[in-house]
Structure 1
Amino acid sequence: MPNTSIKITATFLILVATLFWGMTFSFIKDAVSTLSAFNFLFWRFSIASMLLLAISYKQIHFFNRELFFKGVLLGIFLGGTVIFQTIGLRYTQASTASFIAGLSVILVAIIACILEKKRPTINIISAIFLTMLGIGLITLTPHLEFNIGNLWIILCEICFAVYILLAGKFSHTNEPITLTFFQLLCISIISAVINFTFGDFSIPMHTNLWVSILFCAIFASVIAFNLQLKYQRYVSSTKAAIIFASEPIFATITAIIYLDEHLTTRFIIGAICIFSAILLAEMRGKSSH
């Protein structure tokens, strides 16, 4: 059992990773306004995987089949996460997308109940209701139209929920660098195949694009995912998801500063519903019958 000091350190460093992820919403939205989603992802994860290879090649177990399989599996679900997120940010506000991210916390709790063969508690059921209410307030227009960008972000969070659970399980191998490398490489290959298949490849020519790409590659990929895979084993998957739920706070602050976005009353009420659901899901409650 990890001691309290390690748990506190792990919580803090996972929070640092979440800070970097939260900041990416605005950088990605700015980049994909002029660069295709898959082109952005190709550059982001190719640079990230090559950078990690260059600085940590002696620590990467290239021929370990188990780690390779686990890394690729993580890469597939993480790939779905970032691909859907990047596409979604073309059509929705960065702050809106970041708050929908709270959905993954509820999904992790639900999937954990299924895997552990436990009935969901009253708190979980109530949290699901609050989450759907919050998402509805944030994503539905006055004419009850569903923004296609929000749908992509929801798909992103489904993938991320599965990724959190897998990362919690695989992080016990204590090989974060190898797992990080394989998952980053997997996403870069997927992006490259899609990129070249649809003839969408291009070299970014503007400074702001490279700022976004390099920030996402270095801080939100190499550093953040390595921190997550190294320290998530010290906390439960559900607690990790709760920590990740702080991402909207950092994303919203970044969006207000970087993109000059504004908050609406519906958005604030919806966000309160989602955060209430997140807290409620973590409280102990009686199982439903």
Structure 2
Amino acid sequence: MSSRQGHADIFLVCTTMIAAFGWICSREAVSGMPTMAFLGLRFLLAGLLLLCFCKRSELRQALHHRRSVLISGLLLACCMLLWIYGVATTRSLGEGAFIMSLSMLFVPIVAWVILQARPSASFWVSLPVGMVGLGLLTLKKNIVFEPSQFFFLGSAILQAIYFCYNTKYASFVSVRPLASFQLICTGVIASVLSLLLETWPPQVALSTWGWLAASVLIATSLRFWLQLKGQSMTSAANAALIMLLEPLLTVVAAALWFTEMMSLQQMLGCALILLSLLYYRVRAGRTK
């Protein structure tokens, strides 16, 4: 393995570790402040911070394609709003992380509609395995669904749409300004909704502000930089395989931090979802 590939793997593994840490940060923060207010502050501050590192030529290019940038920002905002409500209401962060990971299997379906790209044969093998895993993960003995599961599933579907839209319309915009404006758009929308619908508690604990700061600086800004750096040094297929570590690490982090435990049925469901994603990514990588 080359030194460049080794560095890329390190960057991407660190990205997945920070992503798992980000779930903890978000859960702790929303327990002490309004949900949409947290999302708004997190993404608005992270977007403005990232904007400082954009070149003027990149900003002019992004503004020239402002319609595409705005639409992608709206899609991200809707995706993140559903996600944060899932985080705020779920009993298991690990379960939510695995449901969100299914967005990779939703992408080929959305791409078939948006990009007219017919899914590969490996996708049709992976999809039913992933759906069985989702059923084992979410269905309880009494077949009662929890609201958080719908939030995460809706967010995963929107994430797939967001990914495909970026692929088709926003590929001609530089990554840094595109990400900056998308984060800012999400932050503004969430902040406006918070002002209209939410009420702040009389006092917010200092620890809550600390979790917010960690979410902005580490779980959003640093994670984005590491992921971008890692992806620029390796293939998309290799990066996608390493990023599959996120739900596994989230399960571990939630077990250590919140003492969350999964039943044998749920663990089997997680295993099937991971197996379906691994099979799809490996087969997709070999056909490129």
- Aligned match of 1:108: 107
Unaligned runs of 5+ in 1: none
Q: Secondary structure at the match of 2:14?
A: helix
Cα distance in 1 for partners of 2:229, 2:71 equals 17
- Pair 1:284–1:184, CA change in 2 (3 A): closer
What is the correspondence of 1:142-221 to structure 2 with a 5 Å cutoff?
142-167=141-166, 173=172, 175-201=174-200, 205-221=204-220
- Pair 1:22–1:160, CA change in 2 (3 A): farther
What is the correspondence of 1:205-284 to structure 2 with a 5 Å cutoff?
205-229=204-228, 232=231, 240-284=239-283
Q: Secondary structure at the match of 2:88?
A: coil
Cα distance in 2 for partners of 1:258, 1:132 equals 29
Q: Secondary structure at the match of 1:34?
A: coil
2:37 equivalent to 1:35: no
CA positional deviation for 1:276? 1.0
CA positional deviation for 1:94? 0.8
- Aligned match of 2:21: 23
Cα distance in 2 for partners of 1:251, 1:120 equals 29
- Pair 1:254–1:9, CA change in 2 (3 A): same
Q: Secondary structure at the match of 2:89?
A: coil
- Pair 1:215–1:169, CA change in 2 (3 A): farther
Q: Is the 8 A contact 2:39 2:187 kept in 1?
A: yes
Let me know the Cα RMSD of the aligned residues. Answer: 3.0
Per-residue Cα deviation, 1:22-72 (whole angstroms, up to 9, x for no partner): 22222222222332210111221222123334x426557444324544443
Per-residue Cα deviation, 1:92-147 (whole angstroms, up to 9, x for no partner): 111111111221121123334553532541x3222111111111111112100111
Q: Secondary structure at the match of 2:253?
A: helix
Q: Compute the TM-score of the two structures, normalised by the length of structure 2.
A: 0.83
- Aligned match of 2:53: 56
2:74 equivalent to 1:76: yes
Identical aligned residues as a percent: 23
Q: Number of aligned pairs?
A: 280
Quick check: 77-86 or 195-204, which moved more? 195-204
Cα distance in 2 for partners of 1:249, 1:69 equals 37
Q: Secondary structure at the match of 1:118?
A: coil
Q: Which one-letter code corresponds to 2:128 in the other structure? A: F
Q: Secondary structure at the match of 1:90?
A: helix
- Pair 1:61–1:200, CA change in 2 (3 A): farther
CA positional deviation for 1:230? 5.9
Q: Secondary structure at the match of 1:56?
A: coil
Cα distance in 2 for partners of 1:8, 1:26 equals 28
- Aligned match of 2:88: 90
Q: Compute the TM-score of the two structures, normalised by the length of structure 1.
A: 0.82
**Which of 29, 44, 47 is matched with 1:46 structurally?**
44
